[in-house]
Structure 1
Amino acid sequence: MSIQLSTPVNRQAAEALSRSKGEPEWLTAKRAEAAELVETLELPKVEKTRIDRWNLSAYGQYKPAQPVSSAAELSQDIQAFVPESQSGLLVTRGSGAVFSTLSDELKAQGVIFTDLETAAREHSAIVQQYLHSVVASNEDKLSALHSALWNGGVFVYVPKNVEVDLPLQAVLYNDDADATFAPHVLIVAESNSRVTYVDNVITTGSAAQVAAIHHGVVEVVAKAGAKVSFASIHSMGEEVVDISIRRAALDNDARVEWIIGDLNDGNTLSDTKSVLNGRGSSSDSKVISIGSKKQKLSLTTQAVHWGKSTDSQMITRAVMREEATAIINGITKIEKGATKANGEQTEKVLMLSPKSRGDANPILLIDEDDVTAGHAASVGQVNPEQVYYLMSRGIAKIDAERLIIYGFLAPVVSEIPIDAVREQLQRLLERKLEA
C-alpha cells in the first residue's frame, strides 16, 4: 500500500513561521515560493526504490529549542558525541540550535561557524548568495519541502587563504518525534582555504522509537584551490526515515572529501554528489553502511565532470543482515569537453543472510573520448572457507564472521583521517553488528 506525502506546509504557513522567527524578507520569500512548489512537483524517482511506500507523513512541526550555557548541560547520551576539543562546536536539538562555540583565533581570521538561522540574520548577504545555489528548491517535491521548512542547520564560512587546522564539529539530534528535524548545512570555502567539518546526526528518546523523519540537505561551495573535508555519521532509530541529500560545487583545483557513515536502523535515502565544474578539481567519496532487520537502504554516490583534468574516486561498502535490502548506485558522468577527466568507482555489498539483498549498480555516462574511467562492483556472502580457516585457528564462528566483516569494511574505515571520527564509527559498527 502506498503512503502518500501529506504536505505539512502552504505559502501562508511558511511566511508566518519565517516572520515569527525574525528572518530577513528574502528568506521569507524563498520559503513561500518553495511551499507553493511542493504542490506541483513530484517525488524524486529513486533507482529501484519506491520511497512513495515509505512513511513520509511524520514531518512534525517547528518547536523552538531551549539553549544551554555549556556542553556540560547536555544530556549524557548526547555528551558522548561531544568532542574533547571544542575550538568549534555546534549542537542543535530538533528544530533549533542550543549551543555553539568558536575559538577567538578562528573568529579573528574571519571564520563563521553558527546555526544557519542565525547566519541568515547576521550574515544575510553571504547566506543569500549561496543558499539553494547547489541544491535547488525546484528539483523535486522533497527539495521544495525542505526549502520551505528547514530549521536550525549549520553555516560554515572560511575566508580566502584561511586554513582551519582543527575540525569544526556539530551534533544534530532530535529527542522529540513531534519536532521537525530538517537541518540544512551550508559550507562556503573561499579561494585557497581549508576546512574539515564533522557532524553526528542522532535521534534519541521518543524520536527514535516512533515514526519520524530526518530530512537534511548539505550544500558545499568550494572556490578555486579550496579543500573541504566533510564527515557525517548518521545513527537514527528504527522508525525514523532518513532522507539526506548532499551536493558540492567545485571551482578550479578545488577538492572535496566525503566520508559518510549511514548506520541508521530505519529506512535510508542517501545521495551524495560532487559537481566538478573547474579545471583540476577533484572529489573523493567513501560511504559505509550496515543494514539490519527489514531496513531498506538507497545509497547513491555521484560525480559529474564538467572541467578538464578533473578526478573523482568513489568507494561504497555495505553489509546487509537479516532481511535488509540495499540498492547501491555509483554514477560517474563525464560531460562533453571534460577532456583528461578520470572517474573511478567501486561498490561492494556483503550479505550475511539468505534473506538479505544487495544490488550494486555502477553507472558510467561518458560524453567525451579523451578520458579514463572504470568501475568495479560485487555482491556476495561471507566466504565459508575464510570462516573455516579462522575457526581452525581456535576462533569461534561468530568472532570469525565479525573479523571478516571488519576486514571487508577496513579499506574505508582505515582511511578516515580524523581519529575521533574513526573511533566513533568503529563503536557504531560494533553496535550494529552485535544488535
Structure 2
Amino acid sequence: MAENVIAGNDFIRAFSEDASEPTFLTESRLAAWKLASELDLPFVDKTKIERWNFTKFDTFEGASTGISNEELAEKVTNLVDLDNQDANYYIQVDARPARLQLKKELRDKGVILTDIVTAAKEHTDLFKQYFMKDAVQVDEHKLTAFHAALVNGGVFLYVPKNVEITEPIQTIFVQADASKPLVNHVLLVADDNSSVTYVENYVSLDEEGAGIANIVEEVIACQNARITFGAVDNLSKGVTTYVNRRGHIGADSSIEWALGLMNDGDTINENVTNLMGDGSTGDVKTVTVGRGKQTQNVTTRVTHYGKASTGTILSHGVMKDKATTIFNGIGHIKHGASKSDAQQESRVLMLSKGARGDANPILLIDENDVVAGHAASVGRVDPVQLFYLMSRGISKQEAERLVIHGFLDPVVKQLPIEGVKVMLKEVIEGKVR
C-alpha cells in the first residue's frame, strides 16, 4: 500500500502542476490520497458494495483546455440553447470546460460561475472557506478522500448577499469516454438573503465503455437564502457511480431538491440535508427507474438541528427486468430541535417478476414537541387504475405507461427548465417501454 501512495503522490503532483493549481490545493490532494489508502468504504445499508469498482481506472485526464462548439454532441446541445444570450450555463466534456456563459448583469452583482479549478486559483478565499468543510468532509470514508485527491472537474457557483437570480443557472457534465474517471465536484453557495435556481445534467456519450464516476456536491444556503436544485443523472450502464449530494441550510433558509436518478449502471446515491438553523426547510423529491441487472441504493437523510425546522422526503421508483433498488429514507430530529416536522414517503412500483424494490423508512426522534410521520409501499401497477383507463378504450400497454408517468410526475414537474424536463420524460419513456 505504501508503494501505491508514493506512486500516487508523483501522479497527483504531475497533473496538479500541469493545471497550474495553487500549492495549497496540491498539498490537500496529497493528504487526501494518503487518507484514501487508509479509510474504508462507506457503510451502505442493505447493499453489499465491497466488490464494486469505485477507485480503479485505466486513464486519467486532469483539468485541461476547452473544446469547440462544433465538438459538442447533439445530445448536449438539445439541453441548452447556445444562441440564447440571456441564458446562464456551464458545459463540461470529461474534464474539459466546453462553454460558459454568465450574463454581465449577474457578473456585475458579484455572481461567480466558473469551473472548480479556476475557482481555487482565482477565488481562493471563498474556495477555502467552503470546499469540503461544512457540508462534506474529506475524511468521512475512502470515497470522499479519493474524491478530494483526484477531483478533475466540476463547477463553483457563488451568489452574493442580497442577490436574487430569477433565471435558472444550468450545468451539463458529459462523460464522453467512460474509461476516464469522472471525479466531479459542485460547490454552490447562496449567501445571506439570496436566491438561485440551479439545474444540472450528467450525460454519457460512451454507451459501451466501462468506468467510474465519483460525484460530490455541496449545496450551502446561508441565512435566509433560497435554493431550488434540479438534477437529471443519466450515465451509462458500464459506469459504476458514487453520488453524494449534501445540503447545509442556515436559519430561515431552504433547499428544494428535484432529482431524476436515471443512471443505467450500479449506483450508490446519497442525499443528505442538514437543517442547521432555526426555521430551516429541506424538501427532497427523488425519482428513479431501474432496469437490466443494475443495483441501486438510494439513501435520503434529512437531519434536524435547528428549532422549528421542516423536512420532507418523497421517493418514487420504478423497477423492471432484474433491477434492484433500495430506498433508505431517514428523518432525524436531534435533541434541541423542538417544534420540528419530519415527513417522508417512499413508494416502489414493480413492472417485472425478477425486479426487486425495498422501501425502508426510518424516523429517529431525540426531542419532544415535534411532528413526524412516514409512509412506504412496494407493489405492482394498480389493476383498478388499469381497468379504468382500459374501459376508456386505452390499450393495456398505453394504460400502464400512463400510470407510470403519473407515478413519477411529482418530481418531473418540479424541474424549472423545459428542455431538461422534456429530456427526463424521454429518458423515463425509453426505460419503461
TM range, smaller chain: over 0.9
CA RMSD of aligned residues (A): 1.8
Contact map agreement 1:65 1:98 (CA 8 A) in 2: no
> Unaligned regions of 5+ residues in structure 2, if any?
none
Establish whether residue 402 from structure 1 lines up as the match of residue 411 from structure 2: no
C-alpha distance in structure 2 between counterparts of 1:8 and 1:100, whole Å: 36
Amino acid at match of 1:392: S
Contact map agreement 1:167 1:195 (CA 8 A) in 2: yes
State the Cα deviation string for residues 320-378 of structure 1 (Å, max 9, x = none): 00111010011111110001111111000000011110100001111001111111100
1:83 shift after superposition:
3.7
Contact map agreement 1:252 1:278 (CA 8 A) in 2: yes
Aligned to 2:110: 110
Amino acid at match of 1:299: V
Aligned to 2:164: 163
Over 3 Å counting, the alpha-carbon distance change for 1:7 and 1:377 in structure 2 is farther
> Following superposition of structure 1 onto structure 2, how do residues 42-121 of structure 1 map, counting pairs within 5 Å?
42-59=40-57, 60-68=59-67, 71=69, 73-83=71-81, 85=84, 87-121=87-121
- Aligned partner of residue 375 in structure 1, secondary structure: strand
Over 3 Å counting, the alpha-carbon distance change for 1:415 and 1:179 in structure 2 is closer
- Aligned partner of residue 38 in structure 2, secondary structure: coil
1:407 shift after superposition:
1.7
Aligned to 1:3: none
Bigger Cα displacement from structure 2, 145-154 vs 17-26: 17-26
State the Cα deviation string for residues 132-176 of structure 1 (Å, max 9, x = none): 011101000000000000112100000000011111111100111
C-alpha distance in structure 2 between counterparts of 1:105 and 1:380, whole Å: 50
Aligned to 2:203: 202
C-alpha distance in structure 2 between counterparts of 1:356 and 1:8, whole Å: 44
Over 3 Å counting, the alpha-carbon distance change for 1:65 and 1:203 in structure 2 is farther
Over 3 Å counting, the alpha-carbon distance change for 1:380 and 1:8 in structure 2 is farther
1:57 shift after superposition:
4.6
- How many residue pairs match? The answer is 426
C-alpha distance in structure 2 between counterparts of 1:341 and 1:72, whole Å: 52
Amino acid at match of 2:97: A
Contact map agreement 1:72 1:79 (CA 8 A) in 2: no
1:77 shift after superposition:
2.3
1:64 shift after superposition:
4.9
State, as a whole percentage, how many aligned pairs show the same letter.
41
- Aligned partner of residue 273 in structure 1, secondary structure: strand
C-alpha distance in structure 2 between counterparts of 1:78 and 1:66, whole Å: 19
Establish whether residue 247 from structure 1 lines up as the match of residue 246 from structure 2: yes
Aligned to 1:298: 297
C-alpha distance in structure 1 between counterparts of 2:263 and 2:6, whole Å: 25
> Following superposition of structure 1 onto structure 2, how do residues 1-400 of structure 1 map, counting pairs within 5 Å?
10-59=8-57, 60-68=59-67, 71=69, 73-83=71-81, 85=84, 87-133=87-133, 134-205=135-206, 208-400=207-399
Contact map agreement 2:237 2:265 (CA 8 A) in 1: yes
What is the TM-score when the length of structure 2 is the normalising length?
A: 0.94
C-alpha distance in structure 1 between counterparts of 2:179 and 2:253, whole Å: 40
Contact map agreement 2:179 2:209 (CA 8 A) in 1: no
- Aligned partner of residue 248 in structure 1, secondary structure: strand
State the Cα deviation string for residues 289-326 of structure 1 (Å, max 9, x = none): 00011111111111111110100111000000011101
- Where do 4+ consecutive residues of structure 1 move more than 6 Å? 6-9
- Aligned partner of residue 423 in structure 1, secondary structure: helix
Over 3 Å counting, the alpha-carbon distance change for 1:151 and 1:264 in structure 2 is same
C-alpha distance in structure 1 between counterparts of 2:412 and 2:99, whole Å: 29
- Aligned partner of residue 425 in structure 1, secondary structure: helix
- Aligned partner of residue 252 in structure 1, secondary structure: coil
C-alpha distance in structure 1 between counterparts of 2:301 and 2:81, whole Å: 30
Over 3 Å counting, the alpha-carbon distance change for 1:408 and 1:7 in structure 2 is farther
C-alpha distance in structure 2 between counterparts of 1:21 and 1:241, whole Å: 26
Amino acid at match of 1:246: R
Contact map agreement 1:283 1:313 (CA 8 A) in 2: yes
